[in-house]
Structure 1
Amino acid sequence: MDRHLSGSQLARLLAIDPDARPYYRVLARTVRSLVLDGRLPVRVRMPAERHLAEALSVSRTTVTSAYDLLREQGYLESRQGAGSWTALPDASSLGADNPWLAGEDDGLLPLHSAAPSATSALPGAVAAATDRYPRYALGMGYDPVGIAPLREAIAARYTARGVATRPEQILVTTGAQQAIHLVTTMLLSRGDPMLVESPTYPHVLGLARTRGARIVPAGVPDEGWRDLDLLTSAMRQSAARLVYVIPDFQNPTGHLMDDAARAALTAEARRYGTTLVADESWGELAIDEGARAAPLAAFDTDGRVITIGSASKLWWGGLRIGWIRTTAATVRRLAMLRASVDIASPLFEQLVVAALFEGIEESRAERARLLGVSRDVLAAELAVRMPDWSFTTPRGGGSLWVRLSGPSATALVDAAACHGVRLAPGQWFGVDGTLEGRLRLPFTQPPQVLVEAVRRIAEARLRGAYGIRPAEPLTPSL
């Protein structure tokens, strides 16, 4: 027989603070949390909108808006004349209400994003690019592999960091995300195994699912890559064609892979015939003295390491310029592949980044100073207000990977949003809903923003079960 809930049953289960605003979003978030933690089973028929509105003493429009939002997110399915049932969204979708997709004008403190604001060098670089821009007017205006000055600057930076590189080995892309997309498209076919760290950069999981790859997660230990056994044994057992790693201030853990581990990893990849894709987008953001390592490609002897870099973390995400370092032959293959996407990256932004490379050491010093202050402030505030949480303070990067003491990150994210803070739960960074007890807290915001955000999170924790009063056990009607 069909399982269903009455309006009064669901209202008791929800137990939402009547002062929560906007109420329809809080209602939708609370239902979503109940589904995710199993208190509201999948395929339970929800009460009619008017019945739930009466039970909650709100307007029917409010409930209708909440149901509409749940349908958009994939947590509710409806059929005309038959009602609505709880559901789980497709695994390949992050959901319509994912905070990453939220606009900047929603008034919430954006602790869901680790993107820093623009460096002070940006205005000067924009002025320099403006002066140089007219020189390109007599040409086509685009180059599929990137303009020569930028490729030369990127190649020179790799050479200075210990891995000799020619401009022909660089492909400029429209952000690191496009770089990852091009590489996975070139290397992966449907059903191929792709090995990723767990946790990892969430958008890579989406790309892998889009390609139809079989995702193979390998856990990153709390102490980092001192022991590569989990990674290398997964490489061997899965026969993965591609391994995606973030060796520099790993997102979200902040771990830095040392030179010995990099050498061992490339040797294992050579042994098993695997291609390593090293995302070094955070590579220039060392905070502590001596927190540096050679690029992973410095340990490569046969062209199996493909390196991805980006201007977004060191200088500014709005530039949308990334790059790929690989063999010259692979650059040509990737340039042909991108022709179906956008042909080339915007000229003006490339000129801006080329100008920024001229003062890269100054930008690195500025980032290290500002991020260091914010990191220490965030760590200190958490120690005072949430002493039961644990984390390892990273030597660089942009975030803390926090282990919560209870209940779930999903519930905390919902409660924090009601207190004006957007958070990134651990599930975003894991495979198949794992890492529920984790939270990524970036320190890319100014110290005063972080202090206020932690205060609000602490306030959300004090209000019962993360802002939702204890609910009665669910016993659906039969």
Structure 2
Amino acid sequence: MTSQVRGGQLARLLGQWHALPGRRRSPDYAALAAAVRGLLADGRLPLGVRLPAERELAEALRISRTTVTAAYRELRESGHLNSRRGAGSWTMLPGGHRVASSGLWTPQDDLDMIDLGIAALAAPPELVPATRAATEDLPRYLGSAGYHPTGIIELREAIARSYAERGLPTSPEQIMVTNGTQHALDLVLRLALAPAGSVLVESPTYPNALAALAARRARIATHGLALDAGWDADLLLASIRQSRPRLAYLIPDFQNPTGHLMPVDLRERVVGAAHAAGTDLVVDESFVDLPLDGTPVPPPTATFDRHSRVITIGGMSKPYWGGLRIGWVRASAPQVQRLAAARIGVDMSSPVLDQLVAVHLLADAATIVAARRTQLAHQRDALLAALAERLPQWRVAVPRGGVTLWAELDGPVSSALARAAEEVGVRLAPGPRFGLDGTLERFLRLPFTLPAADLVDAVHRIAAVRYDLDRAGRPQWREPSVIA
């Protein structure tokens, strides 16, 4: 079935496209086409989606149909739109582009791009010896078919031990190994969320989680996080009690993208509220291993669970390497078995060799993760210093862990800034990617996973284009004349 975006939906995504700073004196149709390309570039508008009819979009935007017709024509000419008479227009990948490691499309000649759209580190040096050791272990598994829907026992035991060391007794039967944290979330949603089910998420939150929920056609409600304070406990608990969502997806440990850390008492109260409301909590612990500056990490949210309401997902992408597609689900043993049964129709199991590599990396976790924390703290401080020097008007809360800064800009220019930065070799993830319907234009996520020199260079380029946005002319928007 072809997915379609309605006129009102696209209008919300476009936001104040006609008044964005940085819009130079160009025809209205060109500005509209550029805004649609921006939505495609940062993933808010997927490929292969049918756009609204010209008349419908014109009515939603309150502009002339002629403007929309010209904008669609320009998008067809640039390769972003494929139209068939009488059938509609679909977004498409323009020629000369490829799907990048972020999952978004990008020009094929962008290899020198400073990519701040990805919040992940390069592989640690320990990966190579761990892989060699894993190949020596592999023959023990070659006599079987190699399918382990819940994961090989060695890895499940290692993951269970890591939870026990954090104060949460866990058995291997409570662990299912997946192909990354995103895969873990997808499987949990398949099991626990019916199509069009209600879900509560933080705002901002992880864009790929929003994409997974959209694929289930979930009805999403949001709880807004403050830049400095994070969660408002009373509002969060009230949202759960009053709306009684089927699921709540939370990132309590160095939240992506804000870096906030949920306090102990709120974790306990959230679990209690979820039980009373009949809500399952999906807790994403992707960043739990990355506290910075000696920040103590509270006990796992599942510590307070007495009714199997908390399903925890995690993985090795952030502290180790994204190319090692190892994630996991921690839940009750019966829930794990139901997840395994659901998984059979999806991908059977995770690669045995990758799992053996993970076993060896986890055995050396203390050394590897300590080095990661030192590296990230240095890069974070370099990024903060560069922002303070070149963009002092931006507000940034210093994260106590994780890999990202969440910056409040000096105006609702996030999407315009991302488009301008692309022209000077910096890829950004604008704020609206982390929310719904074009909100969060005043915010920008900045990961500090690249070398410090690259981060400083990127800030200098961003500051230059931000200055150019202010210098650009701001034409007055004119409503189309009504001719009787």
Tell me the residue number matched to 1:473.
477
- 1:240-389 maps to which residues of 2 (within 5 A)? 240-389=245-394
- In structure 1, C-alpha distance between the alignment counterparts of 2:75 and 2:218, rounded to whole Å: 37
Tell me the residue number matched to 1:171.
176
Q: Give the conservation status (yes or no) of the 8 Å contact 2:64–2:480.
A: no
Q: Rate the CA distance shift 1:41–1:99 in 2: closer, same or farther, 3 A.
A: farther
Tell me the residue number matched to 1:44.
65
What's the CA shift for 1:349? Answer: 0.8
Tell me the residue number matched to 2:187.
182
- In structure 2, C-alpha distance between the alignment counterparts of 1:133 and 1:465, rounded to whole Å: 59
Q: Give the conservation status (yes or no) of the 8 Å contact 1:14–1:31.
A: no
- In structure 1, C-alpha distance between the alignment counterparts of 2:103 and 2:481, rounded to whole Å: 37
Which of 209, 217, 221 is 1:212 aligned to? 217
Q: Give the conservation status (yes or no) of the 8 Å contact 2:412–2:441.
A: no
Tell me the residue number matched to 1:101.
104
SS at match of 2:469: coil
Under a length normalisation based on structure 2, what TM-score does the superposition of the two structures give? 0.82
What's the CA shift for 1:227? Answer: 3.5
> Over residues 1-39 of structure 1, what are the superposed CA-to-partner deviations in whole Å (9 max), with x where a residue is unaligned?
xxxxxxxxxxxx96479xxxxxxx999535656999x99
> Over residues 347-369 of structure 1, what are the superposed CA-to-partner deviations in whole Å (9 max), with x where a residue is unaligned?
11111111100011111111110
Q: Give the conservation status (yes or no) of the 8 Å contact 2:225–2:232.
A: no
Q: Give the conservation status (yes or no) of the 8 Å contact 2:420–2:465.
A: yes
Tell me the residue number matched to 1:6.
none
Under a length normalisation based on structure 1, what TM-score does the superposition of the two structures give? 0.83
SS at match of 1:195: strand
What's the CA shift for 1:225? Answer: 4.7
Q: Rate the CA distance shift 1:124–1:178 in 2: closer, same or farther, 3 A.
A: same
Q: Rate the CA distance shift 1:310–1:41 in 2: closer, same or farther, 3 A.
A: farther
- In structure 1, C-alpha distance between the alignment counterparts of 2:421 and 2:178, rounded to whole Å: 36
What's the CA shift for 1:45? Answer: 2.6
> Over residues 166-225 of structure 1, what are the superposed CA-to-partner deviations in whole Å (9 max), with x where a residue is unaligned?
000000001111110111111111232111111111111111121122111111223345
Letter in 2 for 1:197: E
Q: Give the conservation status (yes or no) of the 8 Å contact 1:40–1:474.
A: no
Q: Rate the CA distance shift 1:358–1:388 in 2: closer, same or farther, 3 A.
A: same
- In structure 1, C-alpha distance between the alignment counterparts of 2:316 and 2:109, rounded to whole Å: 25
> Over residues 321-364 of structure 1, what are the superposed CA-to-partner deviations in whole Å (9 max), with x where a residue is unaligned?
10000011000000000111101011111111111000111111
Q: Give the conservation status (yes or no) of the 8 Å contact 1:27–1:66.
A: no
- 1:39-118 maps to which residues of 2 (within 5 A)? 44-46=65-67, 67-69=78-80, 71=81, 78=83, 80=85, 100-102=103-105, 106=110, 107-118=112-123
> Over residues 73-122 of structure 1, what are the superposed CA-to-partner deviations in whole Å (9 max), with x where a residue is unaligned?
xxxxx56499x99x999xxxxxx999741358513210011011112221
- In structure 2, C-alpha distance between the alignment counterparts of 1:334 and 1:423, rounded to whole Å: 36
Q: Rate the CA distance shift 1:431–1:226 in 2: closer, same or farther, 3 A.
A: closer
SS at match of 1:464: helix
- 1:384-423 maps to which residues of 2 (within 5 A)? 384-423=389-428
What's the CA shift for 1:46? Answer: 4.0
Q: Give the conservation status (yes or no) of the 8 Å contact 1:225–1:261.
A: no
Letter in 1 for 2:234: D
Tell me the residue number matched to 2:129.
124
Tell me the residue number matched to 1:5.
none
Which of 431, 439, 442 is 1:437 aligned to? 442
Compute the RMSD of aligned alpha carbons: 3.2
Tell me the residue number matched to 1:137.
142
- In structure 1, C-alpha distance between the alignment counterparts of 2:475 and 2:390, rounded to whole Å: 26
- In structure 1, C-alpha distance between the alignment counterparts of 2:314 and 2:370, rounded to whole Å: 19
- In structure 2, C-alpha distance between the alignment counterparts of 1:452 and 1:404, rounded to whole Å: 19
Q: Rate the CA distance shift 1:98–1:311 in 2: closer, same or farther, 3 A.
A: closer
Letter in 1 for 2:136: D
Q: Which segments of 5 or more consecutive residues in structure 2 lack a partner in the other structure?
A: 1-21, 45-57, 93-98
- In structure 2, C-alpha distance between the alignment counterparts of 1:47 and 1:208, rounded to whole Å: 30
Letter in 2 for 1:110: D
Aligned length: 433
Q: Rate the CA distance shift 1:333–1:420 in 2: closer, same or farther, 3 A.
A: same
What's the CA shift for 1:292? Answer: 1.3
> Over residues 367-387 of structure 1, what are the superposed CA-to-partner deviations in whole Å (9 max), with x where a residue is unaligned?
110000000000110011001
Which of 151, 158, 164 is 2:156 aligned to? 151
Q: Give the conservation status (yes or no) of the 8 Å contact 2:24–2:474.
A: yes
Q: Rate the CA distance shift 1:315–1:33 in 2: closer, same or farther, 3 A.
A: closer
What's the CA shift for 1:44? Answer: 3.4
Q: Rate the CA distance shift 1:439–1:14 in 2: closer, same or farther, 3 A.
A: closer
Letter in 2 for 1:470: R
> Over residues 290-323 of structure 1, what are the superposed CA-to-partner deviations in whole Å (9 max), with x where a residue is unaligned?
3312111111112111100111001000011100
Q: Rate the CA distance shift 1:274–1:451 in 2: closer, same or farther, 3 A.
A: same
Tell me the residue number matched to 2:454.
449
> Over residues 383-438 of structure 1, what are the superposed CA-to-partner deviations in whole Å (9 max), with x where a residue is unaligned?
11001100100111001000011142111111111111110111111122211111
Q: Give the conservation status (yes or no) of the 8 Å contact 2:295–2:401.
A: no
Q: Rate the CA distance shift 1:164–1:204 in 2: closer, same or farther, 3 A.
A: same
What's the CA shift for 1:141? Answer: 1.2
Q: Rate the CA distance shift 1:287–1:435 in 2: closer, same or farther, 3 A.
A: same
SS at match of 1:345: coil
SS at match of 1:318: coil
What's the CA shift for 1:236? Answer: 1.4
